[in-house]
A and B are shown apart, each in its own frame.
Chain A
Amino acid sequence: MIFCCRRPIFHKEGDCVDIAKELLAGNRLALSRAITAIENEYDDAAEIMKKIYPHTGRAYVLGITGPPGAGKSTLTDRLAHEYRKQGKTVGIIAVDPTSPFTGGAILGDRIRMNSLTLDEGVFIRSMGTRGSLGGLSHKTADAVKAMDAFGKDIIIVETVGVGQSEVDIVKAADTTMVVLIPGMGDDIQAIKAGILEIGDLFTINKSDLDGADKLVREINMMLDLDTFMTDWRPPIVKVVASRGDGIEELTEKVRTHREYIEGNGELNKRRTKRARDEMMDILNSRIGNYVKKKIVDTGRLDDLVNKMLNRETDPYTVAEELVGEMLKV
C-alpha cells in the first residue's frame, strides 16, 4: 500500500512515498520523516508503526538520565564513539525541555555530538518534551522503535536534565544509567526517593573534581541500605567524559548488566511490562479521543456541566450513564 504523508520525501505531483518501506530499506530521510510523523501525530503515523513493528525488538536501549549539567550529552557522545569502535551502529534520541509558556524549545544536545554527525552508522534526533513531565517526550518510545526497525544496534535515550522525580526513562530503557556529579548536595539527598532508585548503574562524571570519592561512598551507603536489592548491585563508575576517561569500562558494565538481565529473565519481564503499558496507553488515548468526539465536540458536555452546576445531577451519575451508553460490554 502506498500512502501519503504530509511531507513526502520526493516532491513529485501526486506521487507519494511509502515511508515505512523506505525506512526498512535503510533510507535515512524516511527514518527522519517517520519520527516527525510520530511526533506530530500525523494521520499516517499509526500506519507507519504497524508496518515497522514486526521489525522492532532487536536493538538494545540504554537510557541516560541525571541532573542538568551532569554531562549527559558529552557522555552520550563518548559512548556512541566507543560503541562504533566495537562495530555497533547507534541511534541517539536526545530530549530537551519544551517551554510550557510558548511551546518553543532550544534543543542543544547536538552541540556535544558534532563529531558523530557525518558517521553513517549514527543517527541523532533531538526531541522537545512537548508537555510531558517525566523527563521524556510522550513519543520517545515510538521514535525508539523507528530507529530499532531501521536497524540500529544500540539506541541511547538521553533524558532532559532531571530533578528528583522524573523517572519515565525506566519505562523506555533496557538499562538505565544515572549520571551524577560531585558537589550537588549532602548524603541525605542520596536517600531520598526518585531518580536514585532507578539506576541499573551509576556514573560519576567530572570525577576529577573534589568530592567524587565522597559521592561514591554516599551512593554505596544508599545501596547498602537497599532492602529490595536483587543480586544485581548497581556498579558505580567514575568517568571524565570530556577526556574520554572510563568510557570503555562503562560500556563493559552496561554489557555485564545486559547479560545479567538477559540471563535471569528480567529483560523479558521489563519488555513485557513495556508492551502492556504501551498497549494501555494507546487504548486509553483512543478511548479518550472517542469520548471527546462524542460528548465534547457535540456540545453535550456543556449541557451536562450546566445541569451539574444547577445540582440537577452529579458528575458520578453522568459518568456512569455515559460509560454505560458508550461502552456496551
Chain B
Amino acid sequence: MDKKIRVLVAKPGLDGHDRGAKVVARALRDAGFEVIYTGLRQTPEQIAEAALQEDVNVVAMSILSGAHPHLFPKVVNLVREKGMTDVLIIGGGVIPEGDIPALKEAGIAEVFTPGTPTSEVVKFINEHVKA
C-alpha cells in the first residue's frame, strides 16, 4: 500500500503574497506529503471544490490581508457541506492572537502565525491526520 498524506495549500482572498505559502508547501513536500498548490486569489468555493476533487486530508490556508475572520470559516462550512467531515483545516499568516479562539470555534484546527518553524506544521499534520 502506498498511502500519502495529501495537503491542499491555498491562498483565499485578494492579497497577492504567497512566499509564506510556498515556503510551507516546500516544507510539506520535504516531509513526504503530496502538496497540491492552487495559487493566488482563490474563492472559498474554489478551495472547497479543489479539496473535494483532490481528496486531500488537509486544507492549509494562508491569509495576510486580514480577511481571515470571514474567509476561513466559510471554507470550513463549504468543505463540510461537501461531505468531507474528516478533512483537517488549518490556517496561517498575519493573524492577531485575539482572533484565534473564534477561528478555532469555527472549525480551524490550528492557526500558525509568523515565526512558526515549518517543522511544527509538519508535526501537527502528522499527529492529527487519521491514518
Residues of A within 8 A of B (CB): 7, 9-11, 28-29, 32-33, 35-36, 39-42, 98-99, 102-108, 110-111, 114, 117-118, 123-126, 128, 130
Closest to B51 in A: A32
Contact between B35 and A117, CB atoms less than 8 A apart: no
Q: Which of B4, B25, B36, B52 contacts A28 (CB 8 A)?
A: B52
Contact between B26 and A39, CB atoms less than 8 A apart: no
Residues of B within 8 A of A (CB): 1-4, 25-26, 28-39, 42, 45-46, 49-50, 52-55, 82-86
Given A32-B55, A40-B1; A104-B38 close (CB under 8 Å): no
* B33 CB contacts on chain A under 8 angstroms: 104
* A124 CB contacts on chain B under 8 angstroms: 50, 53
Q: Number of residue pairs across A and B with beta carbons under 8 Å?
A: 93
In the complex, what distance in Å separates the CA atom of A261 from the CA atom of B38? 37
* B32 CB contacts on chain A under 8 angstroms: 102-104
Closest to A101 in B: B30
Contact between A108 and B37, CB atoms less than 8 A apart: yes
Separation in Å of the A293 CB from the closest CB of chain B? 14
Contact between A126 and B4, CB atoms less than 8 A apart: no
In the complex, what distance in Å separates the CA atom of A144 from the CA atom of B29? 25
Q: Which of B30, B34, B50, B55 contacts A128 (CB 8 A)?
A: B34
Contact between A104 and B2, CB atoms less than 8 A apart: no
Closest to A42 in B: B1
Contact between B50 and A40, CB atoms less than 8 A apart: no
Contact between B52 and A40, CB atoms less than 8 A apart: no
Contact between B53 and A123, CB atoms less than 8 A apart: yes
> Given known contacts A104-B32, A110-B50, A117-B46, what 15 new A-B pairs fall within 8 Å (CB)?
A7-B86, A10-B85, A32-B52, A32-B55, A39-B2, A39-B4, A40-B4, A98-B34, A102-B32, A106-B35, A108-B37, A124-B53, A126-B54, A128-B4, A130-B2
